[in-house]
């Protein structure tokens, strides 16, 4: 039996049965969420990719297009605990993490958990909170734990933050720092529905809200088992090297003042692996990497001043860059 470079035994390959279960589970989740979210099939699929990676999502779009509804639909489809936090300038860290209070009847201090102690958290208009409150959210997102007055508590699994921000209204906002943007696995934009989809929305919501009748299609503990099984999905060394070269190319591109970090490489690796499983494969192909790369890398890079003055955005530069990085082919 071959050994890994560190001398340990190589991990067990993902079984065909688990691949089938992941694919079927993703399909059921997809169909269930689409009973509520209409005309956004790709967005729902990418949200499921984030779930399987235990990654967080930044939904950047204008109000009223279904960001909150998407979070609620995912939560109900999983039977998970859900909390919505409305971020405002006067929101304090203790408002989201929890507080210690004095129980007069038993003469002891007790901890009252905040809304972050949920499996799915909607951080609405996250850029309206002060940097101090944003940093409290940062620990929960990265470490999956919360520290209050020196006492650290683990968060439940799965744990997913869906944060929203309005890209147009800037008054009274505190832009997210690069360190926090880097913690989001994907940045998604829902966009307005087309004419047929908007008509379907009116018809489906005419008599009742379909969200009210949505039932769980998979238990949270089963999702956690699939998340752990996904870690054994095979990634060929040539595809892994392709991910590294693609990320390193962003650091050498003059249009970027700051390229993607090694954390971005890990995020792209995990997202491509999850997308392959959602598509029913037990291996990753370069097309998986190319499909999720703009969603994973687009918000992690800073354009140079000259590039911004020319009216180019990070995703457009990234698409051009991907054309220059050689794609591995089967021998």
pLDDT at res. 290 = 93
Asked whether residue 2 carries a pLDDT value surpassing 50, the answer given is no
Both 61 and 151 in a single domain?
yes
**Cα angle: 195, vertex 197, 203; to 5 degrees:** 105
pLDDT at res. 61 = 80
Asked whether residue 273 carries a pLDDT value surpassing 90, the answer given is yes
Q: What is the pLDDT of residues 123-175, one digit of tens each?
A: 888 888 888 888 888 888 888 888 887 778 888 888 899 888 877 655 656 77
User: By percentage, how much of the chain surpasses pLDDT 90?
Assistant: 18
Which of 212, 229, 246 is the endpoint of a domain?
229
Structure tokens at 51: 């779930």
Q: How many domains does the chain have?
A: 2
Which of 229, 259, 274 is the endpoint of a domain?
229
Distance (Å, whole) CA 222 – CA 112: 28
pLDDT at res. 9 = 52
pLDDT at res. 171 = 60
Which of 204, 229, 254 is the endpoint of a domain?
229
Q: Could you tell me if residue 6 is inside a domain? A: no
Distance (Å, whole) CA 86 – CA 83: 10
Cβ neighbours, 10 Å, residue 187: 20
Both 47 and 139 in a single domain?
yes
Helix (H, G, I), strand (E, B) or coil at 164: strand
Q: Could you tell me if residue 330 is inside a domain? A: no
Query: Rounded mean pLDDT of 193-210?
Result: 88
Asked whether residue 293 carries a pLDDT value surpassing 90, the answer given is yes
Both 72 and 199 in a single domain?
yes
Both 196 and 90 in a single domain?
yes
Q: Are 28 and 50 in contact (CB under 8 A)?
A: no
Both 158 and 259 in a single domain?
no
pLDDT bracket for residue 11 (50, 70, 90): low
Both 89 and 73 in a single domain?
yes
Query: Domain containing 154 — which CATH number?
Result: 3.40.50.300
pLDDT at res. 289 = 94
DSSP letter string, 201-251: HHHHTSSS-GGGG---SS-HHHHHHHHHHHTT-B--HHHHHHHHHHHHHHH
pLDDT bracket for residue 284 (50, 70, 90): very high
Both 225 and 243 in a single domain?
no
Q: What is the pLDDT of residues 62-80, one digit of tens each?
A: 778 888 888 888 888 888 8
Both 146 and 199 in a single domain?
yes
Q: Could you tell me if residue 210 is inside a domain? A: yes
Lowest mean pLDDT among 13-22, 29-38, 163-172, 308-317: 163-172
Q: Could you tell me if residue 134 is inside a domain? A: yes
pLDDT at res. 331 = 54
Radius of gyration from C-alpha coordinates of the chain: 21
Q: Could you tell me if residue 159 is inside a domain? A: yes
**Cα angle: 182, vertex 48, 86; to 5 degrees:** 60
User: What is the average pLDDT score of the chain?
Assistant: 85
Query: Domain containing 246 — which CATH number?
Result: 1.10.8.80
DSSP letter string, 250-270: HHH-TTEEE---HHHHHHHHH
Q: Decide which of 111 and 237 is more confident.
A: 237
Q: Decide which of 19 and 241 is more confident.
A: 241
Closest CA to 126 of 96, 159, 81, 151: 96
Distance (Å, whole) CA 133 – CA 261: 24
Q: Could you tell me if residue 331 is inside a domain? A: no
Pairing of strands 256-258, 302-303: antiparallel
pLDDT bracket for residue 1 (50, 70, 90): very low
Q: How far is CA 119 from the centre of its chain?
A: 13
Both 306 and 161 in a single domain?
no
Both 210 and 311 in a single domain?
no
Both 224 and 237 in a single domain?
no
Q: What is the pLDDT of residues 242-255, one digit of tens each?
A: 999 999 999 988 88
pLDDT bracket for residue 6 (50, 70, 90): low
Closest CA to 186 of 70, 72, 285: 70
Q: Could you tell me if residue 165 is inside a domain? A: yes
Both 166 and 297 in a single domain?
no
Q: Could you tell me if residue 10 is inside a domain? A: no
Sign of CA dihedral 217, 219, 222, 227: positive
Domain residue limits at 218 = 16-229
**Entry pTM:** 0.86
């Amino acid at each position: 039996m071959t050994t890994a470079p560190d001398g340990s035994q190589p991990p067990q390959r993902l079984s065909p049965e688990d691949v089938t279960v992941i694919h079927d589970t993703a399909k059921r989740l997809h169909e269930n969420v689409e009973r509520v979210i209409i005309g956004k099939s790709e967005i729902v699929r990418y949200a499921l990719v984030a779930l399987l990676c235990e990654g967080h999502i930044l939904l950047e779009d204008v109000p009223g297009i279904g960001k909150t509804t998407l979070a609620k639909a995912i939560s109900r489809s999983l039977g998970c605990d859900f909390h919505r936090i409305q971020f405002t300038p006067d929101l304090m860290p203790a408002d989201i993490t929890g507080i210690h209070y004095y129980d007069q009847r038993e003469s002891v201090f007790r901890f009252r958990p905040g809304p972050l102690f949920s499996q799915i958290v909607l951080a609405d208009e996250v850029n309206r909170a002060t940097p101090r409150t944003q940093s409290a959210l940062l620990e929960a997102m990265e470490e999956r734990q919360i520290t209050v007055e020196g006492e650290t508590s683990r968060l439940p699994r799965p744990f997913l933050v869906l944060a929203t921000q309005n890209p147009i209204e800037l008054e009274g906002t505190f832009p997210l720092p690069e360190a926090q943007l880097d913690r989001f696995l994907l940045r998604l934009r829902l966009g307005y529905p087309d004419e047929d989809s908007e008509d379907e929305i009116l018809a489906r919501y005419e008599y009742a809200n379909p969200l009210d009748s949505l039932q769980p299609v998979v238990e949270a503990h089963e999702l956690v088992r699939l998340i752990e099984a996904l870690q054994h999905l095979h990634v060929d060394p040539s595809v892994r090297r392709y991910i590294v070269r693609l990320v390193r190319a962003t650091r050498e591109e003059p249009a970027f003042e700051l390229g993607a970090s090694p954390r971005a490489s890990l995020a792209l690796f995990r997202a491509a692996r999850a997308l392959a499983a959602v598509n029913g494969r037990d291996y990753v192909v370069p097309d998986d990497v190319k499909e999720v790369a703009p969603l994973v890398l687009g918000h992690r890079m800073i354009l140079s001043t000259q590039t911004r003055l020319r009216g180019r955005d990070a995703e457009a530069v990234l698409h051009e860059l991907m054309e220059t990085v050689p794609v591995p082919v089967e021998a």
